[in-house]
């Protein structure tokens, strides 16, 4: 059951990820990215990260992607042109990508042989209670610093995107 769920959503994530890269229209890329994020949320659930799965759906698929699609529609972005790509990049890009993936897979397999298994329900540390306890005790200072970061981001976004006064 775990294997079926993992394979299903891993394939959805990879197909949507390829779609993000190959689609020419930004709206298609954005919708594919939502597919990647949704299937990653299911994988987080399989890994026992309930809170992170919910945050993924709400923050990433909900808030951030809505912002992206809003900007795409606001700018009325069309399909991009295919021309003007470097010859070396076209020739070497795909083989280098495959080589990188093969190398990474080899080292991952060596570091984590198949004895390290992931079973649904074997780890219950990802509930909102546990995450909240760690967040408000051990990681309190970084948590407070991120609130300042978000405040700065809000001010920066408003200053950058506002209309100049006459």
Partner 1 sequence: MTNGVPLSWYLILSAVLFALGVAGFLFRKNIITVFMSIELMLNAVNLSFVAFSYQLRQVNGHIFTFFVMVVAAAEAAVGLAIILTVFKNRQTLNVDEVSSMKY
Residues 105-144 that bind partner 1 (CB under 8 A): 105, 108-109, 111-114, 116-119, 123, 125-126, 130-131, 134-135, 139, 142
Alpha-carbon distance 50 to 42, whole Å? 9
- Among residues 84, 87, 95, 166, the one that binds partner 1 under rule CB under 8 A: 84
DSSP 68-115: HHHHHHHHT--PPP-----HHHHHHHHHHHHHHHHHHHHHHHHHS-TT
Site string for partner 1, 15-34 (x = CB under 8 A): --xx-xx----x--xx--x-
Alpha-carbon distance 115 to 113, whole Å? 5
Q: How far is the CB of 21 from partner 1 (least distance, A)?
A: 4
- Among residues 71, 91, 140, 144, the one that binds partner 1 under rule CB under 8 A: 71
- Among residues 87, 88, 141, 160, the one that binds partner 1 under rule CB under 8 A: 160
Which residue lies nearer to partner 1 by CB, 93 or 166?
Answer: 93
Place of tokens 């529609």: 73
Which residue lies nearer to partner 1 by CB, 33 or 165?
Answer: 33
Closest CA to 5 of 36, 34, 44: 44
């Amino acid at each position: 059951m775990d294997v079926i769920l993992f394979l299903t959503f891993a394939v959805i994530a990879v197909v949507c990820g390829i779609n993000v890269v190959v689609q020419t229209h930004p709206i298609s890329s954005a919708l594919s990215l939502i597919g990647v994020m949704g299937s990653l949320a299911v994988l987080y659930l399989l890994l026992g990260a309930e809170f992170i799965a919910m945050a993924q759906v709400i923050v990433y698929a909900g808030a951030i992607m809505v912002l992206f699609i809003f900007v795409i529609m606001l700018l009325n972005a069309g399909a991009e042109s295919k021309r003007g790509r470097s010859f070396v990049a076209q020739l070497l890009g795909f083989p280098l990508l495959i080589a990188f993936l093969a190398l990474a897979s080899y080292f991952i397999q060596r570091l984590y042989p198949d004895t390290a298994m992931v079973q649904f329900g074997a780890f219950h540390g990802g509930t909102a209670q546990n995450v909240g306890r760690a967040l408000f005790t051990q990681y309190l200072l970084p948590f407070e610093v991120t609130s300042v970061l978000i405040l700065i981001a809000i001010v920066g976004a408003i200053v950058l995107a506002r209309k100049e006064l006459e």
